[in-house]
Amino acid sequence: MKTIAPRSLPALQTMLDDLGGRNVEQLAKHLGVSTRTVKRWRARGGAPRAVMLALFWETTWGRSQ
């Protein structure tokens, strides 16, 4: 079965909520970035597409695909 990346993604906060509202430190460690970077993304309400895709595949929606 071929998996294709989604064209549109849920909002960053929506995905984080689905993942159990991970705290900044856990998320930064999981993604290999600094806590400052994660805080900046959360404040902006978005992250680079690669990050959004990585998070998407761990959400309920991503796992169901």
Dig out the tokens for 14 from the structure: 């929506």
DSSP E strand boundaries for 1-65: none
Task: Output the pLDDT for position 22.
Answer: 75
pLDDT 10s digit of each residue in the chain, 65 long? 677 888 899 999 999 999 987 789 999 999 999 999 999 999 999 999 999 999 999 999 999 98
pTM here is: 0.85
Q: What local confidence, expressed as pLDDT, does residue 6 receive?
A: 86
User: So what's the pLDDT on residue 7?
Assistant: 86
How confident is the model at residue 1, as a pLDDT? 62
